Structure 1
């Protein structure tokens, strides 16, 4: 099924690029929460929803998408598994035309993201993974008509240096205490701002160590890339003050579908609880 979902996400990416490469400014609307919406979001969503519903599965799997009406909470709570979709993650990046936007599709079972596909259409790159399968990155060499697939895994954390990723659109102001704590423990702390779900993928492929998100984010923004990171050997945690790595993030489709904050890490053997203790203000 992973290969089928990859093809669906790529077709959605192609629909996005038709808008992205069109001449003229992108027409932008705003939803009730003031987040931007473009025709590319809608076209990508249509491709994904229709294609997932057409999959030949033993049992129908319900879906939740940023661009679809949300089923009632009482109904969602009955689902043992579901698709969780962001048809265009990084709409602000899309509007700015900086290439750092993605298509996100995750399969969640019992709150755990067990399959994920992240396609960055403007970068010609796909990250995908599933539990018991592993994770990989594909780069599309369009002119040569070939696809290069390589397995990915997080890197081991060095005690001399650490690379921390932040959001290109949301800034890193909320990370000041965390960064100060890390700078007291590492000789070098490199901070990079990256758009959309690419931050998780950077950790999964071993080009960064930590992605802390200390402001709320919707579940569909994180699930697909979380699945890739888990399949690669890392994980995403819901931190508490007592234990930053106490619990792996779960997707429960509660009211609002918001994740208050999380920490995405690559090296699960690193002493993160010690390194991040008292580095940021989270509730117990």
Structure 2
């Protein structure tokens, strides 16, 4: 019998911390190798060090649960579709932030059951901070001994000020062209995509539009956290994201939406993802 997510939470957090500390050691030393993957995204020796720790730790903890990670060889869809449960990992979300030394990078671990993330653990090494959630049990932030429940910002649906989480390096018009007139948009700059979602989950921002390539590992952990905090992650046409249903792990453009009292269709213009996804 497979263990319940609640029984796995604390050991998974410990594994995430160990991976995060390994990243931090390399980050503080300033001595790392930087390479380009086939998709031209950056990868460092810190990504691989974190991946090794996560994979070894999770295999020891749950030897019967398979693992998908951004930094390991992909498993074909036919084999994956037989999995009712698997770990979905991004060993270091925010590699470019690691390279640019902003500190905004995080370890992401999701447990996916029947195509849905039922547990998400995100560890922010430079802040020694966890964000985590289990389906049906709420979302939490933990910086010290005691975790604190978190939720999306409590705003009235008629409020015209929207706090928009944005990348420090992306051109602002990449996302602002999809915003409707009639609102005041306050920009909240941050690095890693998953940390932007966590900011929305804890009420520091209201919305994040991700325009550009990502994989399912970029959203798995934060998806559970934001949903448990009262928000949603949807694709750019306001449809739900899916997991383990395509040949590739590519996500469409997506948006992380906070308080669901906001009429988000009046705030954001839907659009089709320009790159091709394989169904």
Residue deviations 1:116-172 (CA, integer Å, cap 9, x gap): 0111101111100111211111114xxxxxx34211011123413110112234443
Partner of 1:35: 41
- The alignment of Structure 1 onto Structure 2 pairs a total of residues equal to 263
Structure-2 residue corresponding to 1:191: 187
- Residue in 2 that maps onto 1:249: 241
Alignment correspondent of 1:51:
57
Whether the 8 Å CA contact 1:217–1:259 is kept in 2: the answer is: yes
Whether 1:19 aligns to 2:9 is no
* Partner residue in 1 for 2:4: none
Residue 15 of structure 2: SS of its match in structure 1?
A: helix
Report the counterpart of residue 152 of structure 2 in structure 1: 154
Which residue in 1 is equivalent to 2:100?
96
Aligned twin of 1:208: 205
Check the 8 A contact 1:9/1:105 in 2, yes or no. Answer: yes
Per-residue deviation at 1:273? 2.2
1:99 and 1:122 in contact (8 A); partners too:
yes
Give the C-alpha shift of residue 80 in structure 1: 1.6
Runs of 5+ in structure 1 lacking a partner?
Answer: 141-146
Q: 1:231 aligns with which of 219, 228, 233?
A: 228
Aligned to 1:109: 113
Give RMSD over aligned pairs.
Answer: 1.7
How do 1:168-187 and structure 2 match up within 5 A?
Answer: 168-179=168-179, 181=180, 184-186=181-183
State the TM-score, normalizing by the size of structure 1: 0.87
SS in 1 for 2:223: helix
Equivalent of 2:84 in 69, 80, 83: 80
Distance in 2 of aligned mates of 1:26 and 1:42:
11
- Shift in alpha-carbon separation, 1:207–1:185, aligned structure 2, 3 A: same
Deviation at 1:195, TM superposition (A): 0.9
Is the 8 Å Cα contact of residues 114 and 227 (structure 1) preserved in structure 2? Answer: yes
CA distance in 1, matches of 2:98, 2:67: 24
2:271 is equivalent to residue 275 of structure 1: no
Q: When you count strand as a share of all residues, which structure comes out higher?
A: 1
> Which moved further from structure 2: 107-116 or 163-172?
163-172
Q: Are the counterparts in 1 of residues 188 and 205 from structure 2 also a CA contact under 8 Å?
A: no
TM-score, normalised by the number of residues in structure 2: 0.88
Provide the C-alpha distance between the structure 1 equivalents of 2:106 and 2:141, rounded to a whole number of angstroms. 14
Aligned counterpart in structure 2 of residue 262 of structure 1, from 251, 254, 272: 254
